[in-house]
Amino acid sequence: MRRLPALLALTGALFLAATSVLAITQAPLGSALFFGCAAAMAVAYAGILARIWSEPRAPRRLVHAALLLSLAFRVPLVAPRVNSDNDMVRYLWDGRVQTLGYSPYQVVPSDPALSATHTDETRRMPSLHARTPYPPGAQLFFRLVVSIHDSTRTMKLALFACDLATILVLWRWLLLTGQNEWLFLTYAWNPLVVLEIAHSGHLDALGALWIVASAYWLARRRTALASIAFVLAVATKLLPIVLLPIFWRRVRARDAAAGATLLAILYLAYTRQGVLPFGAVPNVVKHIRFNGPLFRYLAGLATPQIAALSAVGAGLLVAMWARWRLGADEAGSWAWPMAVALAGAPVIYPWYLLYFTPFLFSVGTLPLTAWTVTAISTYIVWELAFFQGARWVVPPAVMMLEFAIPLIVGAVVLWRTHLRRTAHPQTAQRGRTRQNLIGPLFRFRRHDRPQHEVGEDAWKGGRQYGSHYIEDADSGRAPAERLRESATDTGNQTIIPRP
């Protein structure tokens, strides 16, 4: 505890220095200075993570100091102007044409008939000749921001606000579920998060907010709000669709129907001439490739469409397994299905990983934490393509580095868990006959029996008795506290404690 304030100050100063240098110099993506700043952020991040894992409690003033530092890291990067090659320029144009009565799915920016919709900034955007790839939920956000003020600075500030809201919701979720509140730093100090939102302003910040909000409201048993947040996340980018099994029998049927209705309304609102607004997604699956070795391999064996369906199917299977074995407040329940699906995607830009970054607060998600850091290495492509004329392809050595390190971290986690179980065989065997070495990657904590073996009422919970996964709306006790109580039978309901 004595060294924690000094470590917080040291790592915070290093991180702030790195973001300040990056903001002042405006170092290009992929340049030596950019990687130097990113490396400094990663060192600071690793230093603070190594300590907070073993720091279950700390004075609230230190938590507040860490939160203020998180804000300080971002401010220098938010301040500079947005370049014309940034994705936010396309966000702005998509929102602008909606306010003028056009559907963003029916028009292309390079159309001469739409010249009046451009400014000097949007005329130079890289995606002039491409249809929008962004789903209806994202388009609604673009229109809202442009309605407030038509500028890329406003768009960046809106995404920055989403980032800050994600930090606060994650913090509240950790407190609600009885977990270490320090673990909000796994998101707030993540170098990828800071670079891709405060620096580059990517839309995935909005999707990450909706997903963590859905998890939070599910823990509060606000299942209608959880369903709506999940639908908005899917309508922002399709990746979270693989989390659908997580909600099975955890939300009321009427709330699930309300969510499905909202999704239908969002898509129908942008439907023209009977064509659903999928934008450029089919074209991406068929033709666009970046940093997706697994997809490229599967597409070579079959077709791109089958490879894409395989990625989605793998994510759904992981989510189904997590639904069967894990609690809704487990980091792995949310992070791993999305990560598995993304690993099989045709395009894996670094900012795509933002969707699962709020869920990196368990030891079992350490491989994914490592991936968020190693994925930054793919920015070398920007340097090679723009300044050396190379192809838009990740060099094999960089791709090896990006994926090998997370695999090594995962192997270490499995090996250390195996050693602990070998050293304490009785503890390892008690109630764990169905588990295997994959379990540590998902952080088993809540229960040791399949859900179907427990009474339905115990899992669904009621206002009076609650459940293992979710907290009662009118109870201040976290699930972890209830699990430490002895088993209590009341009527036909049974609360099963952890063995």
Element (H, E) at 20: helix 4-25
What's the rounded Cα separation, in Å, for the pair 333 and 481? 21
> What token pair was written down for 317?
């299977």
State the pLDDT at residue 426.
56
The DSSP annotation for 412-466 comes to HHHHHHHHHHHHSHHHHHTT-TT--TTGGGG---S-SS-GGGS-HHHHH--TTT-
Assign 132 to helix, strand or coil: coil
Angle at 11 between CA 7 and CA 13, to 5 degrees: 115
Q: How far is CA 468 from CA 87, 216, 429, 451, 460, in A?
A: 42, 15, 22, 11, 9
* pLDDT means over runs of 10, the chain (499 residues): 84 97 95 97 95 79 93 95 91 95 92 92 89 93 96 96 97 92 94 97 96 96 95 95 95 94 92 73 86 94 94 97 92 96 96 96 94 97 91 94 96 87 61 41 40 36 34 38 41 41
State the pLDDT at residue 1.
54
State the pLDDT at residue 421.
77
Tell which residue, 217, 248, 214, 246, has the closest CA to residue 231. 214
State the pLDDT at residue 200.
95
Angle at 68 between CA 349 and CA 204, to 5 degrees: 20
State the pLDDT at residue 442.
44
> What token pair was written down for 24?
């002042």
State the pLDDT at residue 8.
93
State the pLDDT at residue 2.
61
Contacts of 146 (CB under 8 A, 6+ apart): 92, 95, 96, 98, 99, 154, 155
What's the rounded Cα separation, in Å, for the pair 112 and 108? 9
User: For residues 372 and 406, is the Cβ–Cβ distance under 8 A?
Assistant: no
What's the rounded Cα separation, in Å, for the pair 227 and 250? 10
State the pLDDT at residue 117.
93
User: For residues 262 and 140, is the Cβ–Cβ distance under 8 A?
Assistant: no
Backbone Cα Rg of the chain: 23
Q: pTM, whole model, 2 decimals?
A: 0.83
What's the rounded Cα separation, in Å, for the pair 310 and 299? 10
Helices (H), 191-271: 191-193, 204-219, 223-236, 253-269
Contacts of 59 (CB under 8 A, 6+ apart): none
User: For residues 48 and 130, is the Cβ–Cβ distance under 8 A?
Assistant: no
State the pLDDT at residue 51.
87
Q: How far is CA 367 from CA 292, 357, 362, in A?
A: 18, 12, 10
Positive or negative, the CA dihedral 310, 311, 314, 315 is negative
State the pLDDT at residue 420.
80
